Amino acid sequence: MRSFLLLAVSIALALSAERPPNIVLIYADDLGYGDLSCYGATAVKTPHCDRVAAEGLRLTSGYCTSATCTPSRYSMLTGEYAWRRKGTGILPGDATMIIEPGRATLPAQLKRAGYATAVVGKWHLGLGTKEHPVDWNGDVGPGPLDIGFDSCFLMPATGDRVPCVYLRDRRVVGLDPADPIAVSYKEAFPGVPTGVTARATLKMDWDYGHNEAVVNGVGRIGHMKGGTAALWKDEDMADVLAREGAAYIARFKDQPFFLYYAAHSIHVPRVVHERFVGATTMGPRGDAIVEFDFQVGVLMDALKANGVAENTLVIITSDNGPVLNDGYKDQAAEKIGDHRAGGPLRGGKYSSFEAGCRVPFLVWGPGVKPGVSDALVSQIDLATTCAGLAGVVPTANECPDSLPQADALLGKDSVGRPWMIEHATGLALRVGQWKYHLPQKTRDDIITRSTASIADPGQLYDLAADPGERTPVEQAERRDAMKAQLTTLRTAAGTRPGFTDAGK
């Protein structure tokens, strides 16, 4: 009997050793450091995120790599800082893909370990190539399926950019071939109403930009016509994406899987389902936070219902910091009240101040030491770190800037990265409690959308004494040393020890 028990235990151990954790990466859009109740918000309740935080790890120095979406996502998926590459800024909706087919991305690393991989939600990394431009009415690609994802269900760009349709793998969902899609980022289609000509009919008015195509009563960036049956309805988007995410979990439950769930929430246009309207006193932006939290709940429930919660690592974070008015008149600034979207931090989306890149960052699941950690953790490290958890190591010419940081990600190392590069209008470097900004003009106050000018030779702040970066520290020696360190890191081909770009 005893030997039978021993045998059973060793088989169980062997099985668990063979099966690495599933990974669900839940990525919010424009969610700020102070936007969740587990990060101190009181004007909005986010019970699903709070539960993940209470049962798991809440990082207080977790960062995205850039203060806008496209470079942030590029860096996270490739493990290479986007600012090393031209053309990685905010992309139009008809851009070609900026990650070359065949790149050894985060999902590609996990595929090597036998994972099933999927992306659901916002893409915004371009589709097609120069040689193979996108045909929205045919096979759309190259795309996610060519850089390591087995399947996808996408919004091609952003909620505020055309085309406003979903893509499943390589096809627009629900497209009627008799009503083909045409997209132009250059000129309006004759006779098709725009946000200017049809302004009086809009359900959400625009403030700046967002006045070209009108889809579902909302003005967008870019012109589009046709595809009427395939057009999304903003109000249903959270439900549609959450359902897709849950369906992948059910489909993949018997093998290791990676799900990159890239929510549209809480990006503009903030048009939530009617059951979330008025969920907060902050108007659509606050309601969209509740809608994001709802999606977290759906995915967590799906993990439990499919019996994989025990063996799934869940990471919840955001692609960049908060913005209030981002081009629509949705009262985000007017109704903000006492809520501080960036918590105690200065700046927000588009800003090199801390709220630009320091974002909510929760980790939950097997191997996680629950609690709160101030370790420096960056999304740039997810590629190599997740690969490591799956037993895969990037080769010498892959993932140039992505460090293996499993101990910090799981709460076992309270220090994390030795340094952190933050990217907005220019670069900044954090080392321990110190933060150095290169000279640049950068977004400052999120309510007034004012700009701060950081003059040569840059500015130094002590984040321990002054987390809100209010008073620059006059320590020329330290400032110059950090500037020199940033130059060294920036001009290297990569910063991962052992990385070589030979044969790239």
∠ CA 75-81-86, nearest 5°, is 100
Q: Could you tell me how many residues of this chain bind Ca ion (CB under 5 A)?
A: 5
* Collapsed DSSP state (helix, strand, coil) of residue 471: coil
- Told to check if 326 binds Ca ion by CB under 5 A, we report no
The distance of Cα 90 from the centroid of its chain, to the nearest Å, equals 13
Closer residue to Ca ion in complex, CB, 110/263: 263
- Phi and psi at residue 200, to the nearest 5°: -65, -20
Instruction: Give alpha helix (H) positions in 43-171.
Output: 47-55, 69-78, 106-112
Min CB(406)–Ca ion separation in Å: 26
Per the CB < 8 A criterion, the answer to whether 128 and 141 are in contact is yes
Our CB check for ligand NG6 shows the closer of 209 and 367 to be 209
Interface mask toward Ca ion for 283-322; x: CB under 5 A: ------------------------------------xx--
Query: Residue 209 binds which one of Ca ion, ligand NG6, none, with CB within 5 to 8 A depending on kind?
Result: ligand NG6
CB of 222 to ligand NG6, least distance (A): 10
Quick one: what does residue 315 bind among Ca ion, ligand NG6, none, with the CB cut-off 5 to 8 Å set by partner type?
none
Min dist. Cβ of residue 217 to ligand NG6 (A): 17
Out of 20, 21, 25, 29, which residue is the one contacting Ca ion (CB under 5 A)?
29
CB of 90 to Ca ion, least distance (A): 9
Are 459 and 442 in contact by the 8 Å Cβ rule? The answer is: no
Closer to Ca ion by Cβ: residue 117 or 320: 320
Cβ pair 158, 114 in contact under 8 A: no
Which option in ligand NG6, Ca ion, none does residue 327 bind, with CB closer than 5 to 8 A by kind?
ligand NG6
Beta carbon nearer to ligand NG6, 72 or 459: 72
From the list ligand NG6, Ca ion, none, partner contacted by residue 221 (C-beta under 5 to 8 A by kind)? ligand NG6
AA identity, residue 309: A
Question: Residue 414's binding partner, choosing from ligand NG6, Ca ion, none, with beta-carbon cut-off 5 to 8 A by kind?
Answer: none
Of 180 and 209, which has the nearer Cβ to ligand NG6? 209
Q: What is the DSSP letter of 326?
A: S
Q: Find which of ligand NG6, Ca ion, none residue 268 binds, CB within 5 to 8 Å per kind.
A: ligand NG6
* Backbone dihedral angles phi then psi of residue 476, each to the nearest 5 degrees: -60, -40
Residue 360 or 394 having the CB closest to Ca ion: 360
Kindly state the tokens that stand for 393: 């190591």
Under a CB-based contact definition with an 8 Å cutoff, are residues 141 and 170 in contact?
yes
- Please state at what angle helix 237-252 crosses helix 284-305, rounded to 10 degrees: 20
Contact string 134-173 vs Ca ion (x = CB under 5 A): ----------------------------------------
Closest-approach residue to Ca ion (CB) = 69
Answer with the entry of ligand NG6, Ca ion, none that 384 interacts with (C-beta below 5 to 8 A by kind): none
Between 85 and 478, whose beta carbon lies closer to ligand NG6? 85
b vs e for 137-167, b when ≥16 Cβ sit within 10 Å of the residue's Cβ? beebbbbbbbbbbbbbbbbbbbbbbbbbbbb
* Minimal CB distance residue for ligand NG6: 209
Nearer to ligand NG6, 68 or 117 (CB): 68
Per DSSP, the three-state class of 473 is: coil
Q: Where are the beta strands (DSSP E) in 321-423?
A: 361-364, 371-373, 377-378, 420-423
- The answer to whether 295 and 241 are in contact (CB under 8 A) is yes
Q: Which is nearer to ligand NG6, 21 or 322 (CB)?
A: 322
Q: Which of 25, 41, 57, 69 binds Ca ion (CB under 5 A)?
A: 69
C-beta of 184 vs 397, nearer to ligand NG6: 184
For residue 134, the partner it binds in ligand NG6, Ca ion, none, with Cβ less than 5 to 8 A by kind, is none
DSSP codes, 147-171: TT-SEEEEESS-TTBS--B-EETTE
Of residues 312 and 318, the one with the C-beta less far from ligand NG6: 318
221 to 157, 195, 317, 358: CA distances (angstroms): 11, 10, 26, 28
B/e letters for 228-266, b = 16+ CB within 10 Å, e = fewer, are eebbbebbebbbbbbebbbebbeebbeebbbbbbbbbbb
Positions in the binding site for ligand NG6 (CB under 6 A): 29-30, 68-69, 90, 124, 158, 160, 208-210, 221, 267-268, 320, 326-327
Q: Which residues pair with 371 in a beta bridge?
A: 57
Nearest-approach distance from CB 30 to ligand NG6, in angstroms: 5
Minimum distance of Ca ion from residue 357's CB (angstroms)? 12
DSSP label at 360?
Answer: -
What are the residues binding Ca ion (CB under 5 A)? Answer: 29-30, 69, 319-320
